[in-house]
Amino acid sequence: MAKRHHMLALFNNFDEVREAIIELKVMDLREGGVEEMRMTSPIPHPELEEVIGARPVLVQRFTFTGAMLGLICGFLLTAGLAQSMFSVQPQGGKAVIPIPADLIIMFEMTILLGVWFTVFGFLFGARLPRRRSHLYSRRVGEDQVGLLLEVLDSHYERVKNLLWQHKALEVMEDS
Amino acid sequence: MTIKNMIENWAQFRKSGQVGDEYYDHADYRWGMVIDLDTCIGCNACVTACYAENNLPVVGKERFGRGLGMHWIRIERYWQTGEEGEKKTRYPEQGAQYIPMMCQQCEQAPCEPVCPVAATYHTPDGLNAQVYNRCIGSRYCSNNCPYKVRYFNFYSYSETWASPLEQQLNPDISVRDKGVMEKCTFCVQRLRRAKNDAKNENRLVEDGEVQTACQQSCPTQAIVFGNLADADSRVSRMWKKHNMAYGHREDDKQQKTERGYRVLEELNTEPSVIYLERIRDENI
Amino acid sequence: MEEEIRNDIKWAQINRDVLHSMASPRRSYWALIGLCLTVVAIGVYAEIHQYHTGMGEARLNRPQMWGFYIANFIFWVGVSHAGTLLSAALFLTNTEWRRPVYRSAEAMTSVALLTAAIFPVIHLGRVWDFYWVLPYPNERGLWPNFRSPLLWDMVAIFTYLNSSMLFLYYGMIPDLAISRDNASGWRRRLYGWMALGWVGTDRQWRNFRKGYLLLACFLLPLAVSVHSIVASDFAMSIMPGWHVTSLPPYFVAGALYSGCAAIITLFIILRYTFRYEEYLTLPILDKLCKLTFAIAMIWVYLNLIEFSSAWYGHDMFEKEVLIEKATGPYAAIWWTMIILGIGLPFSLLIKWVRRNMRVLIFISMLINITMWLERWMIVSPTLARNHEPYSWGYHWPGWVELSITFASFAWFTMLFLLFVKIFPSISMYEVKEMLYHRRHVSDRLLRESGSDRPLTVEK
């Protein structure tokens, strides 16, 4: 297996990183060499994500599953518990399984599980929680845009030069 | 399992529970009461009897004045006042009018469904039961009771029965501690004993076999209590005589001799206690 | 005069400003915390006394089974509303000025809910058995009663507390990562743990945005439902003056009204203490005031609807309650509430008031006191004039209820103080995002108009 280099290049702003990304992309399409490319930024930048190559986000599927699960659980909880009382209780002219009252619990449970599953979906999609790699700069949280690259040994020097050409402020490596 | 149980018994569980569509269709007992206001003299004997029978605490003058009294049955007194300029009362010779007020054991009780822990529920014999051990004291039931006949133990009253007074406590019924809601039970401990006795002898409780404490002590016998499920019982006959039934409205009255009414019946609580109107001069 | 957030403010400066607000509390901060703790301690003492002696110490009585505790509960749930509801609604409508204010507003929501959640518990006659309302499996086959509006309440508050705290935390993850990078000691460990290893890759941001949108979509209906369900405690009963169809929207409007006023109060205090003049700007305050006015008018309208439906419906009992409110022993409180509640928001129409923070903080606090009275006037007059004339009676608070009420305000203040010192109270990344997009748009316009201004976006 060919040796790979992991590196993080820091840029001053999105416009500079954009140029670098496009050039790296073109190089990668022509002859390969860039195994992985990620941008890390202080704010989200949907347009640049498109350039890098957006992948589908699956959070909404989690949300939907959670919401449906909540709806069903809500009903089973209320209806199930109403008839599992030590004595089944008709009360005040209301049925043992009262639909209007159950609907309210179902509504709340839909949201409760929906919210939790959304958060789980996000954690799953974003691959969190995880240990922070050494390739990280606190400047990314501040005002610099980083480019995380995994490069084959054969292209290492070229990529590095390319990054410097595009006004990279710093290139950190961890091989 | 519960899901199987639910599917099998769906129709039963979905019974609306309102009068005419009840969960307990074929119960042997349905306790009911008639109070004749024409005979009531407001002597408070029923209240005293209730205190003795049901271990009700005496809260003292100061706390009673604050509205913390624990009388499960109370004699309410009303004076009729006329409009401004008219004669002050229509029946000055009658003075105050009395109405003994206790838990009406509503068929569609507003207090029941609001309890968060299901400490109050409807028994098969039509009682509005209060489970002291289960009560957590949210007091919602009392707020939602239009008759305000639910009483809350705002304090622990065990000191009320300083020795040797505890000797007079009724052993058939518990002494409630602070933080618990309580109310008239139609002397459920007596009903329970009568039902058990009857069951041992393989029969139903006979009419007149069981009396509530208030009924027992009423000098004018204004209170009649019995089993409404038994069409021949005295209380059933009186309900019929005054054209009263669950689902009945005051508009349904046919003749002047029908004196029955239920308090606040427009709220659709369907009480099991009916009152017979006082006979007034104009009725004669 | 102060203007909008400056476009040329440096991103690193934003970090510094916000992180500075979390650093080394001044002595006055500890003094305030100490004061709050003292008041909370008095409240705890009152509660212990009530626990030992009985609920009678709350000066409740037979018709008046609910008093200050439930009024407090409604009030604090109400205050909690504006934060999350506004944050979610303004997010979904893409309102720009939300970004600097939403973090503190959401924190207010969570903190107010933590305050509100105390009251249903301590108002119980048997506090020690409070867990019986939870559906936990037990050998006795006993379950809670889902027919009860109190149970709906429990479920709704639980859901709301979960969701709003998750929403707050979720939106804070990128900022926690920033805090982690700049902190040391226990703070570094705490933020490091809470930031979950966030580094801001495109994958993380992509999922983050989607998740945030979905959460906001959930929170909007949830917040409306929660106060409707609190209103159901009253509207589902048969008591005159409670059993009113318009009560749920009335509660929601009232909640937003008092919540917005609370946001204004906290806005001014934060702006002053943390020198957030750059971020919590006057134009934002101006918009908040206008929003408060609009919501107040909904509340006023629903008030009038309630009176007129009592009047037109000609329900004897309901009319009696209304007349009791206006002429009975509670009349002074009720009229204060009506006059201030309707009158005060009109002062927000005056530009001078909206720009004058001393006046504004006074008005916003007064609005909240008014709204507290409103909650009391929902609970007590109805019970005072119930269906049964023999059981009419009033409730006036004793020292126990008063101490616990004050303690709840101290508790709220204390939690909020802790929050702003431990967590970033302004969203750093969202402010940056706002500035970036603003510059981006203006740069594109300049470029299209043929200007030779540099295209780069400064940070």
User: Is 60 exceeded by the pLDDT of residue B47?
Assistant: yes
User: Is 70 exceeded by the pLDDT of residue C436?
Assistant: yes
Predicted pLDDT at C326: 93
DSSP per residue, chain A: ---EEEEEEEESSHHHHHHHHHHHHHHHHHH--EEEEEEE-SS--HHHHHHH------HHHHHHHHHHHHHHHHHHHHHHHHHHSSS---BTTB-SS-HHHHHHHHHHHHHHHHHHHHHHHHHHHTT-S-PPPS---HHHHHT-EEEEEEEEGGGHHHHHHHHHHTT-SEEEE--
Interface probe, candidates C150, C233, C238, chain B, greatest B C-beta count within 10 A: C238
CA distance A107 to A71: 7
- Report the residue from A54, A85, A121 with minimal CB separation from C211: A121
Give the contacts of A115 (CB within 8 A, at least 6 positions apart).
A66, C159, C162, C163, C166, C167, C215, C218, C219
Q: How confident is the model at residue B81 (pLDDT cuts 50, 70, 90)?
A: low
Predicted pLDDT at B257: 79
Contacts with A82 from chain B: Cβ below 8 Å: 13
Tokens (6 digits) for C375? 């909650």
CA distance C6 to C53: 59
Q: What is the CATH number of domain B17-283?
A: 3.30.70.20
Interface probe, candidates B62, B98, B144, chain C, greatest C C-beta count within 10 A: B144
Contacts with C456 from chain A: Cβ below 8 Å: 12-13, 15-16
Give the gap in angstroms from C-alpha C338 to the nearest C-alpha of chain B: 25
Shared domain check, A107 and A76: yes
Contacts with C387 from chain B: Cβ below 8 Å: 146-148, 264, 267
Given an 8 Å threshold on Cβ–Cβ distance, is C143 in contact with B118? Answer: yes
Q: How confident is the model at residue B109 (pLDDT cuts 50, 70, 90)?
A: very high
Shared domain check, A146 and A168: yes
CA distance B237 to B231: 7
- C25-426 adopts what CATH topology? Formate dehydrogenase/DMSO reductase fold (1.20.1630)
Q: What are phi and psi of C39, to 5 degrees?
A: -65, -40
Predicted pLDDT at C163: 95
- Report the residue from B110, B142, B180 with minimal CB separation from C65: B142
B residues 84..143 contacting C (CB < 8 A): 101, 110, 113-118, 134-140, 142-143
What is the per-residue pLDDT across C47-92, written as a single tens digit (0 to 9) for each?
999 999 999 999 999 899 999 999 999 999 999 988 888 899 999 9
What is the per-residue pLDDT across A40-85, written as a single tens digit (0 to 9) for each?
999 998 888 888 877 888 999 999 999 999 999 999 999 888 888 7
Given an 8 Å threshold on Cβ–Cβ distance, is A143 in contact with C10? Answer: yes
Region C220-246 average pLDDT: 93
Do the beta carbons of residue B121 and residue B112 sit within 8 Å?
yes
Predicted pLDDT at C452: 55
C residues 125..184 contacting B (CB < 8 A): 125-127, 129-130, 132-133, 142-145, 147-151, 154
Give the contacts of C449 (CB within 8 A, at least 6 positions apart).
none
Given an 8 Å threshold on Cβ–Cβ distance, is C66 in contact with B143? Answer: yes
CA distance A95 to B211: 31
CA distance B224 to B215: 6
Q: Which residues of C288-311 are buried (b: 16+ CB within 10 A; e: fewer)?
A: bbebbbebbebbbebbeebeeebe
Given an 8 Å threshold on Cβ–Cβ distance, is C222 in contact with A111? Answer: yes
What is the per-residue pLDDT across C372-391, written as a single tens digit (0 to 9) for each?
999 999 999 999 999 999 99
Given an 8 Å threshold on Cβ–Cβ distance, is C133 in contact with B181? Answer: no
- Report the residue from C159, C219, C459 with minimal CB separation from A143: C459
What is the per-residue pLDDT across A94-141, written as a single tens digit (0 to 9) for each?
888 889 999 999 999 999 999 999 999 999 999 889 888 888 888 888
Q: Tell whether B148 lies on the interface with A, counting CB pairs under 8 A.
A: no
Name the helix (H) or strand (E) containing B261.
Answer: strand B260-261
- Report the residue from C141, C207, C215 with minimal CB separation from A115: C215
| pTM, to two decimals | 0.93
- Report the residue from B114, B115, B180 with minimal CB separation from C125: B180
Predicted pLDDT at C445: 74
Shared domain check, A81 and A45: no
Q: What are phi and psi of B192, to 5 degrees?
A: -60, -45
Which residue is closest to A98 within chain C, CA to CA? Answer: C147
Give the contacts of B51 (CB within 8 A, at least 6 positions apart).
B58, B71
Domain-wise residue ranges, chain B: 17-283
Poorest-confidence range of A16-30, B31-45, C398-412?
Answer: A16-30
User: Is 70 exceeded by the pLDDT of residue B88?
Assistant: no
Poorest-confidence range of A133-142, B208-217, C156-165, C207-216?
Answer: A133-142
User: Is 50 exceeded by the pLDDT of residue A166?
Assistant: yes
Scanning C328-356, the segments in alpha helix (DSSP H) are 331-347, 351-355
Q: How confident is the model at residue C455 (pLDDT cuts 50, 70, 90)?
A: very low
Predicted pLDDT at B6: 86
Provide the mean pLDDT of chain B.
88
Interface probe, candidates B4, B6, B145, chain A, greatest A C-beta count within 10 A: B6
Do the beta carbons of residue C382 and residue C67 sit within 8 Å?
no
Structural domain of residue A63, as residue ranges? 59-125
- Report the residue from C196, C209, C218 with minimal CB separation from A111: C218
Radius of gyration from C-alpha coordinates of chain C: 24
What is the per-residue pLDDT across C101-132, written as a single tens digit (0 to 9) for each?
999 999 999 999 999 999 999 999 999 999 99
Give the gap in angstroms from C-alpha A17 to the nearest C-alpha of chain C: 11
Q: How confident is the model at residue B90 (pLDDT cuts 50, 70, 90)?
A: low
Q: How many CB pairs under 8 A join A and B?
A: 76
User: Is 50 exceeded by the pLDDT of residue B10?
Assistant: yes
CA distance C37 to C95: 38
Among A110, A125, A140, which residue terminates a domain?
A125
Of B90 and B66, the structure prediction assigns the larger pLDDT to B66
Q: How many domains does one find in chain A? A: 2
Q: Tell whether B234 lies on the interface with C, counting CB pairs under 8 A.
A: no
Which residue is closest to A101 within chain C, CA to CA? Answer: C147
- Report the residue from A13, A49, A122 with minimal CB separation from C211: A122
Q: Tell whether A47 lies on the interface with C, counting CB pairs under 8 A.
A: no
Whether the ω angle into residue C249 lies within 30 degrees of 0, i.e. cis, is: no
Predicted pLDDT at B152: 94
Domain-wise residue ranges, chain C: 25-426, 431-459
Of C267 and A154, the structure prediction assigns the larger pLDDT to C267
Shared domain check, A92 and A146: no
CA distance A119 to A125: 10
Predicted pLDDT at B85: 47
Provide the mean pLDDT of chain C.
91
ipTM of this predicted structure: 0.93
Q: How confident is the model at residue B95 (pLDDT cuts 50, 70, 90)?
A: low
Predicted pLDDT at C345: 95
Region A4-20 average pLDDT: 88
CATH number at residue A24: 3.30.70
Do the beta carbons of residue A66 and residue A102 sit within 8 Å?
no
CA distance B152 to B150: 7
Contacts with A94 from chain B: Cβ below 8 Å: 16-17, 112-113
Poorest-confidence range of A7-16, B8-17, B87-96?
Answer: B87-96
Predicted pLDDT at C5: 73
Which residue is closest to B117 within chain C, CA to CA? Answer: C144
